[in-house]
Amino acid sequence: MRKMMSFILVLCLLALSALTPKPVFAEKAAIARAAATWISFDGESQVLDGFNIGGSNYYKLRDIAENLSGSTSQFNVTFNKSKNAVEILTGRSYAFESKPASMYYSKNQNYKARFTDSKVLIDGELQLLKAYNIDGSNYFQLRDLAQKLSFKVAYDQNAGQILVLSKPVEHSYRADFKYQLQDNAVSSYFPRWKETVQTNLVQNKDQTISVIEAGEKVTIETYDKQYTLISHRSLPFELPIFGGFYSGETYNYIAFGQENKEENNQKEVIRIVRYDKEFNRLNSVSVTGGESFTITPFQFAAGRMEEHGDKLVFHTSRLRYTTADGLNHQSQLTLIVNTPTMTVVNDLGQFQTNHVGHSFDQYVLFDGSQHVLLDHGDAFPRSVVLQKENGSRYTEVELYQIPGSIGANMTGVSIGGFKQSSSHYLTAMNTVDHSLVRAYTSFEMVGLKKDQRDIIISAVPKNNLNNSAVRHITLAKYTGSQAIGSIPKIVKLSDQRMMVLWQEFDMEGTRENLKYVFINGEGTAQGSVQTKEHFVLSETDPAVIDNQVVWYTNEHGQRKFYTIPLAD
3-state secondary structure 320-368: EEECCCCCEEEEEEEEEEECCCCEECCCCCCCCCCCCEEEEEEEEEEEC
pTM to 2 decimal places? 0.86
Q: Note whether 151 and 246 are same-domain residues.
A: no
User: What percent of the chain has pLDDT above 90?
Assistant: 80
Residue 408 contacts residue 440 (beta carbons within 8 Å):
yes
**Is 343 a domain residue?**
yes
DSSP state of 305: E
- The pLDDT tens digits of the residues spanning 141-191 come to 999 999 999 899 988 887 788 999 898 899 999 999 999 988 999 999 999
**Is 13 a domain residue?**
no
- Average pLDDT over every residue of 474-500: 98
- Average pLDDT over every residue of 533-557: 95
8 phi/psi in degrees, rounded to 5: -65, -40
User: What burial letters (b/e) apply to 502-537, b meaning 16+ CB within 10 Å?
Assistant: bbbbeeeeebeebbbbbbbbebebeeeeeebebbbb
- Cβ atoms within 10 Å of 36's Cβ, excluding its own: 10
Q: Note whether 162 and 258 are same-domain residues.
A: no
Q: Note whether 266 and 350 are same-domain residues.
A: yes
Q: Note whether 139 and 36 are same-domain residues.
A: yes
**CB burial class (10 A; 0-12, 13-18, 19+) of residue 567?**
exposed
Q: Note whether 55 and 161 are same-domain residues.
A: yes
pLDDT, the chain, mean: 92
The predicted structure's pLDDT at residue 160: 83
Q: Note whether 51 and 133 are same-domain residues.
A: yes
**Is 259 a domain residue?**
yes
Output the CA torsion 300→301→302→306 (10° steps): -130
**Is 420 a domain residue?**
no
C-alpha 197/C-alpha 554 separation (Å) is: 14
Q: Which residues contact 220 (CB under 8 A, 6 or more apart)?
A: 210, 211, 212, 232, 233, 234, 235, 279
Q: Note whether 352 and 246 are same-domain residues.
A: yes
Q: Note whether 32 and 161 are same-domain residues.
A: yes
- Average pLDDT over every residue of 84-102: 83
Q: Note whether 146 and 261 are same-domain residues.
A: no
Q: Minimal CA–CA distance to 172: which of 566, 568, 563?
A: 563
Q: Note whether 257 and 157 are same-domain residues.
A: no
C-alpha 286/C-alpha 257 separation (Å) is: 9
The predicted structure's pLDDT at residue 557: 79
C-alpha 98/C-alpha 406 separation (Å) is: 56
**Is 566 a domain residue?**
no
Residue 500 contacts residue 530 (beta carbons within 8 Å):
no
**Is 150 a domain residue?**
yes
> Residue 332 pLDDT more than 70?
yes
The predicted structure's pLDDT at residue 99: 65
Sign of CA dihedral 267, 269, 270, 275: positive
**Is 466 a domain residue?**
no
* Listed residues 113, 144, 166: the one ending a domain: 166
* Listed residues 326, 349, 372: the one ending a domain: 372
Q: For residue 358, give its domain range.
A: 237-372
**Residue 118: band (very low, low, confident or very high) from pLDDT cuts 50, 70, 90:** low
Report helix angle 142-149 to 61-68, nearest 10: 50
- Split into its structural domains, the chain has a count of 2
Q: Note whether 260 and 365 are same-domain residues.
A: yes
Q: Note whether 262 and 153 are same-domain residues.
A: no
* Listed residues 322, 337, 372: the one ending a domain: 372
Q: Which residues contact 364 (CB under 8 A, 6 or more apart)?
A: 304, 305, 306, 313, 314, 315, 371, 372, 373, 374
**Is 458 a domain residue?**
no
